[in-house]
Structure 1
């Protein structure tokens, strides 16, 4: 359980954690989070979410300690709320409201006063907090099942703000939020006067933090300033590292040439000595003396050259360690070219479960459509309807090509199975070699393909799910993607955008990450807030 400290809001000392299957995530990590906003970044699977859960007290370290000022407020990445839960219960004010209403109705039971404490303004403060996050329209007596996924995230954030923790721990808080909601969250964090540690790939949010902490190879390094400042610092470091690496390579090559030249001279000298003895220009004793002297000299010279070469190779290894040679996704999308005039999808007077009516929607050829709109506007409902998961209330939707759907909650793989088994289950036509080769392109190489799905980070689960979809037979000529950048690290977002930009089938993407959408070469936008004007 996190403990109080007077030295720093968050203090991790020699922290280690290993999953039950033996996967080591953190090993002896020490780190301090100061007051202000810290953006915690790193590759998918590097341990960011695990670290937050350890700080929050939701996981116990194998060794080491975590000390936190007060009880931290924690927003998990995989937020799950029961749809029947009342909003005031999510916000943590249900008991106080009930006590207040009882007192106002004339019930003077002491228990109500004890429960209420000094929270006489609980409803006013709650409504004010909801309004700050754009949730003023949500009544406290509603249930979670009546709000969108993005609104549910904001409700949980509102609960944390109402609790006023000294330390906020937020794991991908902008996932599923529209641009307006993201701006409200950004402002709420700007107003927070305590400590906030935020795991996110949202560049706008990362450009508003006070510092960047990068988790890399089990070590946390903190950079002052926002994401832009971090990228500039890393770029400068890498330029210096590349120069040092070039110099070290040249030095190693020179030392090896000098070593080879010395050996050539020594061999020539030995041949000369033997020839002198063969020509009777020196006697046997002289030859033996010259030989021993040459051996001593060769030994000393060899030691000098070996030492110089070892030093040069050590400098080279140090320079190589400073270079960032990260593995990158190789998303070899299937050859799914769709002719420009081929009909991919037709929609005739379809009405969705949200009540939204799409009178005429047609997709031809390799179009790429962005679904945009506020949270709750029906983007996910439309994608699920197109994928056949939900029937339209009336009208007709027809898909004319093979399609694959990547859901927002990434629930295609069973948490209890391994990545390899899950992908094989979804693609029974594929050979074991094809599956392993496909997973390797998504950075699941060797034994990593055998790790349980339950141990995957959000970004790793995304990669595994996308690998399963793209091994499909027949290959998809229409991809439906619901918030595909959720949980991906910054590098993976870039690689995914590059891969999808080269995809030659049709593409429908629901998302709020506008920089990502722009990189896909979107040909048409369907704004779900104004569906009659796509």
Structure 2
């Protein structure tokens, strides 16, 4: 049977009752499919339902073929050896024992047909740019991007026929992304992936969109999907305008009907008062007039109700993209004020750094995977000590890390913010959270139940609403867990931020939206790039 993902009448809700899917139907066959939707639409949740990590509350999810899965929040034990992450440790141990002369049948069963496992592993690692990584080496020294590629290599070695990728370009530098693109292009089975990387999305055969609990398939690349959706939304907006015009027209006709009815009533009363016709005839005319007027009024009221219903239906078809709003006067920094001074600093990986930042500067930090960008940000934030030199921070600082481990998963969003801003009242916290699209009951959700994009928004809100307000914000790959719409919203939100920014990112289009004032690269030494 051909590999496929079969989803039928799927229903799922979080333990707090928050619904995600109700009666979802979707079939994904061979080819490359992008799963898209706004943050919170349930993209990562759907992948976890497909893998069996979550159990549906109703309906069925079936996978035809062996399944591989690379999650967006891949975390690896620092002491774990590379071959264990690749899933070949037991096979390699069995091979080593057989080569020593152990005839145990269990060892041959563990090896199966995989006598060339080392060669296959080395070939896969080489293809992904990890040829320098030894199979017996612990993974602790790998960068975030190298860890993602290692996780992908482990999936490829299993030879799955159905592969799920959740934000696979997270933390990858330009060269590593190209290797991933090549892997995706060569894929021949079922590939379902979530990504905010436009280049990757242009490699797909179709787009599966999650919107308000339903799923639709669009043939073609992401650009073709956007064009189809834009045409759909243009038609929906035109339908709203037409429906609004119809409602206005029906209101006028109903008002005219009321005026005509009032005239008839006045005329009938006049005839009655003057007794110009026999009483029986006037009574019958009055009765007929009332019946006719009632029908006339009812007809126009029905038409108005129908017009209003059509307007409501048309309005529902127009999507409302809520926007993050950031307006924090306390974060403002005067142009001449020094916010950061780093002198002769030596990072844990040996890189050397000298850096001064003044006022509301916006500095982009570039560099290959493993160059030390995350180490530098962690050192500036005080999470890691410098091996030498000095680091002086002159203003309140906050770090938004790659792994988004700032918040307590067991606490609600409100409770997390309250912990960082204990002097703020509950109403003030909720009002501020509303600016980050957490309104009402949504602000009470435990952080552990949030999607990647929602968790990012909650973390950003908590850091910006903390006391004292941060005047220097360090961002480590901030677009990793965001859909394209949210990346745009984040850029607009940070454009309104009044403090200084230091942003490590491989997402060049995003960096250009921030109004970067200086471009720096880290490659053994921190250097400024001339634009």
- Return the match for 2:412 from 418, 424, 430: 418
1:492 counterpart residue number: 486
Counterparts of residues 107-506 of structure 1 (less than 5 Å): 107-358=102-353, 360-506=354-500
Query: Mean alpha-carbon deviation: is it higher for 228-237 or for 178-187?
Result: 178-187
TM-score, scaled to structure 2: 0.97
Task: Give 1:283 shift.
Answer: 4.0
Task: Give 1:108 shift.
Answer: 3.1
Query: Mean alpha-carbon deviation: is it higher for 279-288 or for 458-467?
Result: 279-288
Query: Mean alpha-carbon deviation: is it higher for 302-311 or for 144-153?
Result: 302-311
Query: Mean alpha-carbon deviation: is it higher for 304-313 or for 391-400?
Result: 304-313
1:244-293 superposed Cα distances (whole Å, 9 cap, x missing partner) = 11111101110111011011101111011101222232343233112101
Task: Give 1:339 shift.
Answer: 2.4
- 1:331·1:496 contact (CA, 8 Å) conserved in 2? no
2:29 counterpart residue number: 34
1:50-96 superposed Cα distances (whole Å, 9 cap, x missing partner) = 11011111111111011111231011122121111110011011111
- 2:350·2:524 contact (CA, 8 Å) conserved in 1? no
Q: Alignment partner of 2:527: what SS?
A: coil
Task: Give 1:327 shift.
Answer: 2.1
TM-score, scaled to structure 1: 0.96
Structure 1 runs not aligned, ≥5 long: 1-5
**Kindly tell me: are residues 334 and 37 of structure 1, through their superposed partners in 2, closer, same or farther at Cα, counting changes over 3 Å?**
farther
Task: Give 1:524 shift.
Answer: 1.1
Q: Distance in 2 between matches of 1:65 and 1:242?
A: 36
1:19 counterpart residue number: 14
1:491-513 superposed Cα distances (whole Å, 9 cap, x missing partner) = 11111101212323211001111
Task: Give 1:378 shift.
Answer: 0.7
- Return the match for 1:507 from 494, 501, 521: 501
Q: Alignment partner of 2:368: what SS?
A: coil
Q: Distance in 1 between matches of 2:318 and 2:16?
A: 31
1:48 counterpart residue number: 43
Q: Distance in 2 between matches of 1:394 and 1:30?
A: 58
2:514 counterpart residue number: 520
Q: Distance in 2 between matches of 1:346 and 1:146?
A: 28
Query: Mean alpha-carbon deviation: is it higher for 71-80 or for 194-203?
Result: 71-80
- 1:16·1:62 contact (CA, 8 Å) conserved in 2? yes
- 1:333·1:499 contact (CA, 8 Å) conserved in 2? no
Q: Distance in 1 between matches of 2:210 and 2:199?
A: 20
RMSD of Structure 2 on Structure 1 (CA) = 1.4
Structure 2 runs not aligned, ≥5 long: none
- 1:501·1:520 contact (CA, 8 Å) conserved in 2? yes
- 1:430·1:471 contact (CA, 8 Å) conserved in 2? no
Query: Mean alpha-carbon deviation: is it higher for 218-227 or for 500-509?
Result: 500-509
Task: Give 1:335 shift.
Answer: 4.7
Task: Give 1:337 shift.
Answer: 2.9
**Kindly tell me: are residues 334 and 154 of structure 1, through their superposed partners in 2, closer, same or farther at Cα, counting changes over 3 Å?**
farther
Q: Distance in 2 between matches of 1:139 and 1:8?
A: 33
- 1:401·1:476 contact (CA, 8 Å) conserved in 2? yes
Question: For this pair of structures, how many residues does the alignment match?
Answer: 528
Q: Alignment partner of 1:533: what SS?
A: strand
- 1:8·1:32 contact (CA, 8 Å) conserved in 2? no
Q: Distance in 2 between matches of 1:19 and 1:56?
A: 17
